[in-house]
Amino acid sequence: MERIKLANILTEQRNSNSRHLEQKTVEEILTIINNDDATLATAIKKEIPKISKAIELIVPKILNQNGRLIYLGAGSSGRMGVLDASEMLPTYGVKDKIIGLIAGGDQALRLPIEGAEDKKEFAIVDLKTINLNQNDVVLVIGASGRTPYCIGALEYAKVIGALPLALCMTNNAEFEKYADITLNVISGPEIVTGSTRMKAGTATKMVLNMISTTIMIKMGKVYDNLMIDVRASNEKLISRCVNIVSELVTTTDEQKIIDALKKADYNCKLAIVMLEKNIDVNQAKDLLLKNNDNLGETLK
């Protein structure tokens, strides 16, 4: 088997800022890590035009074609995708529009599954399991830009007619041969050589946050800068619902707000419409449905 040329991959190169780490004090080590982390926002900023283009392709798939965004990766990259996808339900009330898949399955979230990332066919099996179709978007994530599991997913996405996209932390990535758009965030060599859970992982989290949050905004899940589709699954989120509704309604009677939220099963949108239009929960549901669940249009 041909040995991978790691020297050609930016994330595998040695970082001149972090030589002789074992000789540094704790504070010196932390400062070195922090200084390098500070470069990530600038690296991502350079890719905003391509990130924007990708989102503009994703949103119509989800809104108009009942499509889904599937994150897919191995190791730290896969974990970042699963994490971002899993946070869509409590934050925005979205269960199955953004899905995270990791090489080796859910067990790989906690334990390394040897060799899983090297098998293209594993990605095809995983995508078939969720019934990938031509309305979907596959966004593969891999710091090196060459993960076989991800390349298998891109190849299968093209066969199915799904939109193939990629995110990596290097230039001249193999992903570019298979993806319609490849986001190349140049996070640079790691403080500990090849430890891509560090800067590459942080940059991945930042980019996925940008992508999923922007999609949710365009889906009407945010009004002003408030998460109006938050799901109240614990005491903190119940309090957040009360605060959100309080910000957006004219009444200052907190008990009235709490009563409306209880009747609306803590659906902020419903409670807001009930209070602002002085109607009951069923009338509020009908009005939101008539306006495609868009709060702004409903309140006009």
**Catalytic residue numbers, as ranges:** 87, 117
In DSSP notation, the chain reads: -PPP-GGGSGGGSPPGGGTTGGGS-HHHHHHHHHHHHTTHHHHHHTTHHHHHHHHHHHHHHHHHH---EEEEESHHHHHHHHHHHHTHHHHHS-SSSEEEEETT-GGGGTS--TTGGG-HHHHHHHHHHTT--TT-EEEEE-TTS--HHHHHHHHHHHHHTPEEEEEESSSS-GGGGT-SEEEE----S-SSTT-TTTHHHHHHHHHHHHHHHHHHHHTT--BTTB-TT----SHHHHHHHHHHHHHHSS---HHHHHHHHHHTTT-HHHHHHHHHHT--HHHHHHHHHHTTT-HHHHH-
